[in-house]
């Protein structure tokens, strides 16, 4: 029963904050709504017995990505004043697309996956231990490749963001 209540609570937080991101005119408010949505998703991970993933979601998404986005908002804050609204026709078309997609997805999900119950606990192993063993065993190559990707991204982002600044400093 508690699981049911928590599921509906986290699901409501997730989806309502997602709608809030769409509705908010102010990008900072949108970021705060996105924060609530991420926390809701982390709660859903806890309910799915993915504790390590929930912690990772909080640390990397909330502690890393969201802070990065908020820094991006602050560094481009001069354009905060310009709130150009989308045209009414575009809103109508987008909401129509969204409704059609939501209804068709929910119909397909309800048709195909309605009778699936949680896996029984016959398999052995503690989830986080199994996760760590898989990352350093079967998934060692992708794990190492991700570290290369992160290095490339770090160099590339620093180059992209700093190149122009360096130039203007040299010009001045």
Partner 1 sequence: MDTLANVVQIGLVHYLFVGALLLVTGLLCILLKRNAIGILLGVELVLNAANINLVAFNRFNVLPAGGRLNMDGQIFALFVIVLAAAEAAVALAIFLNFYNNTSSVNVEDATRLKEEG
55 contributes a contact to partner 1 by CB under 8 A: no
96 contributes a contact to partner 1 by CB under 8 A: no
Would you say 66 and 34 are in contact if contact means Cβ atoms under 8 Å apart? yes
11 contributes a contact to partner 1 by CB under 8 A: yes
Q: How far is the CB of 170 from partner 1 (least distance, A)?
A: 14
Distance of alpha carbon 33 from alpha carbon 21, whole angstroms: 6
Would you say 47 and 7 are in contact if contact means Cβ atoms under 8 Å apart? yes
Residue 29: which of 60, 59, 69, 65 has the closest Cα?
Answer: 69
Residue 123: both structure tokens together: 């398999």
Q: How far is the CB of 156 from partner 1 (least distance, A)?
A: 6
Pattern 19-38, partner 1, x by CB under 8 A = x-xx----x--xx--x--xx
Pattern 110-149, partner 1, x by CB under 8 A = x--xx-xxxxx-xxxx-x--xx--xx---x--x---x--x
């Amino acid at each position: 029963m508690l699981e049911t209540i928590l599921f509906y609570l986290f699901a409501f937080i997730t989806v309502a904050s997602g709608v809030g991101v769409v509705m908010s005119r102010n990008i900072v408010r949108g970021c705060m709504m996105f924060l609530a949505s991420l926390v809701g998703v982390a709660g859903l991970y806890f309910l799915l017995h993915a504790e390590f993933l929930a912690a990772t979601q909080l640390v990397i998404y909330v502690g890393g990505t969201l802070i990065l986005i908020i820094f991006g908002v602050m560094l481009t804050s001069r354009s905060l004043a310009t709130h150009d609204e989308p045209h009414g026709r575009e809103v109508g078309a987008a909401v129509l697309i969204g409704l059609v997609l939501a209804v068709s997805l929910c119909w397909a999900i309800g048709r195909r996956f309605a009778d699936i119950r949680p896996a029984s606990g016959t398999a052995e192993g503690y989830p986080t231990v199994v996760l760590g063993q898989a990352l350093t065993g079967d998934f060692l190559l992708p794990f190492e490749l991700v570290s290369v990707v992160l290095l490339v991204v770090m160099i590339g982002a620093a180059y992209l963001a700093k190149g122009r600044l360096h130039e203007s400093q040299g010009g001045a």
